[in-house]
Amino acid sequence: MSKTSKNIFKGLGWGLGSVLTSAAAAAAGWIIYSRKYIRHDAELVKAIEADRKDFYSEHAGRLSYYVDRSEKGVPLVLLHSINAAPSAFEMKPIFERFRGERPVFALDLPGYGFSDRSDRLYSPQLFQQAILDFLKEVVGEQADVVTLSLSSEFAALAAQENAEFFRSIVMLSPTGFEQPKTDRLSQRAEKRGTKSTVYAGLAVPLWNRPFYDLVASRPSIQYFLNKSFEGLVPERFVDYAYQTAHQPGAEYAPTYFLSGKLFTQAVRENVYETLDTPVLVIYDRDPYTRFDMLPILLKEKENWKAERVSPTKGLPHWEQPEKTFKAMEAFWSEV
């Protein structure tokens, strides 16, 4: 190798070393900043102006929920999405629209809101059992259930096991309708347990909370919520997401979500297609999921219906509430 070539490689080595050193210093600095200067016990007010109660689930621990039982009728149960900073606040427009007309419940799912956020295994089965325990022990009768995004999969798992507690399910922008991955690379990655590897990397105590603090920072929350709104994101939505993300133990459930471990493989084929419960899908465009396979299911299963509410990007009950409520009411009138 010529002297010039040696000098080039030496220079590249020094350059790479400098970049890695700077990255390590930045990471160390953020870890220190996260631990010393970011508050992880922010004041958390109620997501919905209604009675908030706690219920102890045998499978999921303490679960918090909001309730209005001022009127009789078929209970309405609302289940928020799963992401880095969700809570029952996401379902507030639906709660406020139907309270006073029928019993309405909005649950904080395990690991979120005022519910138990302990360091434990979070899985689709945990959320499935939490929903079933809540329906059995708190609601106590057949209900109309409204889900958002990934919670649609959990509710479907619960209905698959105990359909008698579900009069109907309305799924807002549900996951599980993407085109199946058939390439060999994806299949090999699944077999190698990529999700477990990612989780193991994210869950290291030294940087688990600091990493989550980055994901749940106000600019990050604003950025991701902007992708779910055609118009402006309500400031109160960003504020509450930030508050609920800065609680003790707030990082545990999202770490499972971010590593992909809360999604059910082949949920359309193995779960959705087995349901006999009446289901309505309300959708449009969504930056986080697709609906490629929804038309096929609608053709195959008479109990499934769909309504496109436009223009929306995953939160139709926030951006087009009247269209969304009208579709829901029409569906319920036929159940």
Torsion sign over Cα 41, 87, 112, 242: negative
User: Is the pLDDT at 4 greater than 80, yes or no?
Assistant: no
User: Is the pLDDT at 139 greater than 80, yes or no?
Assistant: yes
DSSP notation for 285-310: --TT---TTHHHHHHH-TTEEEEE-S
pLDDT at site 194:
78
User: Is the pLDDT at 286 greater than 70, yes or no?
Assistant: yes
What secondary structure letter does DSSP report for 233?
Answer: P
pLDDT at site 181:
73
Rounded average pLDDT over 115-127: 97
Which CATH number fits the domain 51-181+262-334, given the four candidates 3.90.1150.10, 3.40.50.1820, 3.20.80.10, 3.30.70.1250?
A: 3.40.50.1820
Helix locations, 50-173, DSSP H: 92-98, 124-134, 151-161
Q: Each residue of 21-79: pLDDT tens digit?
A: 766 777 788 788 788 878 899 999 999 999 999 999 999 999 999 999 999 999 999 99
pLDDT at site 190:
54
Q: Determine how many CB atoms are found less than 10 A away from the CB of residue 232.
A: 7
pLDDT at site 191:
52
User: Is the pLDDT at 104 greater than 80, yes or no?
Assistant: yes
Rounded average pLDDT over 191-204: 82
* Percent of the chain at pLDDT exceeding 90: 80
Residue intervals of the chain classified under CATH 3.40.50.1820 are: 51-181+262-334
Rounded average pLDDT over 286-292: 96
**Tokens standing for residue 9:** 């490689």
Q: Using CA atoms, how far apart are residues 166 and 76, in angstroms rounded to an integer? A: 10
What average pLDDT is seen over the chain? Answer: 91
Rounded average pLDDT over 145-153: 98
What is the value of pTM for the model shown? 0.90
Burial class (CB in 10 A: 0-12, 13-18, 19+), 17: exposed
Q: Each residue of 200-227: pLDDT tens digit?
A: 998 898 889 999 999 999 999 999 999 9
Q: Using CA atoms, how far apart are residues 260 and 50, in angstroms rounded to an integer? A: 33
Contacts of 124 (CB under 8 A, 6+ apart): 153, 154, 157, 262, 263, 264
The mean-pLDDT minimum among 22-31, 164-173, 283-292, 325-334 falls in 22-31
User: Is the pLDDT at 185 greater than 80, yes or no?
Assistant: no
pLDDT at site 5:
52
